[in-house]
Amino acid sequence: MTVEPWVVATGLIFVYLLATIVLGIVANRRMTVDMEDFLLYGRKAGFVVLYLTVVATFHSAFAFLGSGGFFYTHGIGFWAAGTWTLLVGAITYVLGPRIWALGKAFGYITPADMLADYYESEAVRVAVAIVSVVFTILYIQVQAQGLGYIINVASGDRISFELGTLILLVVAATYLMAGGLRAVYWTDVIQGVWMYLAVWIGATYLAYELFGGPVELWRQVREVHPELLSLPGPRGFFTPGMWIGMTITLSFGIVFQPHMMIRYYTAVDSKTLKLLGATTPIYLMTLYIPAALVGLGGAVAMPGLEVPDTIFPELLFAHAPPILTGVILAGATAAAMSTLDSILHANMSVLTRDVYQRYIVRDASQSHYVWVGRGIVVALLVVGYFLSVRTFDFLVVLVTLSGSGALQLGPAIVGVCFPGPRTLTRSGVLTGLVGGLVVLYLTLVVIPHPLGMHGGLWALLVNTALAVGVSMVTAPPSEETRARIHGEVEREVYGSPS
């Protein structure tokens, strides 16, 4: 009896989903009813777990689907991805230990905790919480859409995009609610390993199956689509301004999102974060090598795809054995879910800590807040689902929009983490943030990317100028707060207060 490919592919994805739920249940048994444990893994994450959760969270449906689609459409310019992955490593190396030290010393759980404490402002807390949630909800949409694509393609259109999205959202929310961040981290370990192996094995298999190897693949791309091998690409997308803009927004912009920043709080010590910063680019950057083979090879082997993002699964179904296709698509599912669960968790943390605990019910038990967090996950699931099925757009553009929003937190974060003779003020960072978001809207929606420079970068420039300018004429945080927080940074980074 021959089993149809879609049965194998869909079956393997469901086996994988079951495994994540089992891990969630096991994590639940290890959990203590305490917000630090539920939201921050008890600040005990060691190198291996933290490494795999960071890389799995950074790489999402976008790495599996969007990047292949981007190489397919815009050519080799997407290899710029290496620049932002390297920058993520450097940012983690420099910023990670500072954020970790402040989180540990002052009990911060969310990015807004840190910023509101330093700038002595509840308005800053609310503004940061809003930016954190609004822009990462877009990211939930991206991941959920990626999951819908994957399961829809894997099942040969037997499971609709909408149903696939719902199933995978429910599974991610279930293990998150069961085991908190511990469940997210444990599943991310599997997901991080699985997705890396899957994309490399799948791309290598296709390169040999379709072309006899990567060398011949490149030769044929050069012969058939030479325009894909130079900058700015066949549609002129990768202009210098866009290259720089994507580098900044997809590095700083993603690191400043709450689901990444919260990971810095969870490390067991600061050395772990430095090691993480030095080594994560190896994983993050090398994942785009097979993506290039898939996208560029796909442009030769399967031209004219209506939805370029589906090039990888389409090639697998057409040319790979069912079992391999299933394993790889489960890896793609892992890529999307590992990011989705982290975003759900981060939004839950922000809404529970910065909104509910702060403004609605202040002095309830730890157990109360854990249950409220679980309720918030259900609400986020509903919002994420409706956002996902109502709009449909090119994955990477949405990711860029998400990164551009969080990027606007940059000046405020730098003001906290880098002690100096002058500092930003609460009025400065709030004015900069509002100005940056207005400019972001103008330069991404009204007049996209003026003068060929990425809208996120225009917004950051205006934001920074406003933050610095207004800070020069308004009252800084108190000397006591500056000494307390900057003193802690000095102790961590330089060994003694300045």
Partner 1 sequence: MPRTRDGWIATIAFVALFLLAMPPVTHTVWNRVDPTVGGFPFLFVALLAVYCALVGVLVWALRRGV
75 or 308: CB nearest partner 1: 75
Q: How far is the CB of 92 from partner 1 (least distance, A)?
A: 9
Name the residue type at position 462.
V
Spatial distance between the Cα atoms of 259 and 413, rounded to a whole number of angstroms: 15
Which residue among 230, 367, 391, 478 contacts partner 1 (CB under 8 A)?
Answer: 230
The answer to the question of residue 235 lying near partner 1 (CB under 8 A) is no
Question: Which tokens in the block code for residue 314?
Answer: 């389409």
87 or 344: CB nearest partner 1: 87
Within positions 184 to 223, which residues make up the interface with partner 1, using CB under 8 A? Answer: 214-219, 222
Residues 70-99 as x/- pattern, contact with partner 1 by CB under 8 A = ------x--xx-xx-xxx-xx--x------
Which residue among 126, 167, 244, 268 contacts partner 1 (CB under 8 A)?
Answer: 244
Q: How far is the CB of 179 from partner 1 (least distance, A)?
A: 32
86 or 105: CB nearest partner 1: 86
Question: Which tokens in the block code for residue 433?
Answer: 């943030």
The answer to the question of residue 247 lying near partner 1 (CB under 8 A) is yes
Helical packing angle, 479-494 and 111-119, nearest 10°: 130
Within positions 317 to 376, which residues make up the interface with partner 1, using CB under 8 A? Answer: none
Q: Is 45 helix (H, G, I), strand (E, B) or coil?
A: strand
Q: What are phi and psi of 277, to 5 degrees?
A: -60, -40
Q: How far is the CB of 465 from partner 1 (least distance, A)?
A: 21
226 or 448: CB nearest partner 1: 226
Which residue among 154, 195, 198, 292 contacts partner 1 (CB under 8 A)?
Answer: 292
Question: Which tokens in the block code for residue 2?
Answer: 């021959």
Spatial distance between the Cα atoms of 308 and 397, rounded to a whole number of angstroms: 13
Cβ contacts of 210 within 8 Å, gap of 6 or more: 217, 297, 301, 315, 319
Quick one: three-class SS letters along 162-200? Answer: HHHHHHHHHHHHHHHHHHHHHHHHHHHHHHHHHHHHHHH
Which residue among 202, 281, 295, 331 contacts partner 1 (CB under 8 A)?
Answer: 281
274 or 482: CB nearest partner 1: 274
83 or 160: CB nearest partner 1: 83
282 or 379: CB nearest partner 1: 282
The answer to the question of residue 240 lying near partner 1 (CB under 8 A) is yes
Piece of the chain touching partner 1 by CB under 8 A; list 102-110, 125-133, 148-156, 230-238? 230-238
Q: Is 154 helix (H, G, I), strand (E, B) or coil?
A: helix
Q: How far is the CB of 442 from partner 1 (least distance, A)?
A: 24
The answer to the question of residue 277 lying near partner 1 (CB under 8 A) is yes
Concatenated DSSP letters of 443-496? IIIIS-SGGGS-HHHHHHHHHHHHHHHHHTTSPPPPHHHHHHHHHHHHHHHHSS
91 or 144: CB nearest partner 1: 91
426 or 486: CB nearest partner 1: 486
Piece of the chain touching partner 1 by CB under 8 A; list 278-286, 315-323, 344-352, 431-439? 278-286
Please report, for residues 86, 133, 395, 485, the alpha-carbon distance to residue 380 in angstroms, rounded to integers and kept in the order given: 32, 10, 20, 33
Q: What angle do CA 211, 216, 217 make, to 5 degrees?
A: 65
* Other beta carbons within 10 Å of 363: 6
82 or 469: CB nearest partner 1: 82
Q: Is 48 helix (H, G, I), strand (E, B) or coil?
A: helix
116 or 291: CB nearest partner 1: 291
**In contact, 403 and 253? CB cutoff 8 Å:** yes
The answer to the question of residue 268 lying near partner 1 (CB under 8 A) is no
The answer to the question of residue 8 lying near partner 1 (CB under 8 A) is no
62 or 211: CB nearest partner 1: 211
The answer to the question of residue 414 lying near partner 1 (CB under 8 A) is no
- Bridge partners for 45 per DSSP: 267
Q: How many chain residues bind partner 1 (CB under 8 A)?
A: 38
Q: How far is the CB of 87 from partner 1 (least distance, A)?
A: 8
* Other beta carbons within 10 Å of 496: 7
Please report, for residues 255, 383, 387, 449, the alpha-carbon distance to residue 74 in angstroms, rounded to integers and kept in the order given: 25, 32, 27, 17
Which residue among 46, 212, 226, 303 contacts partner 1 (CB under 8 A)?
Answer: 226
Residues in contact with partner 1 by CB under 8 A are 76, 79-80, 82-83, 85-87, 89-90, 93, 214-219, 222, 226, 229-232, 240, 243-244, 247, 274-275, 277-279, 281-282, 285, 289, 292, 494
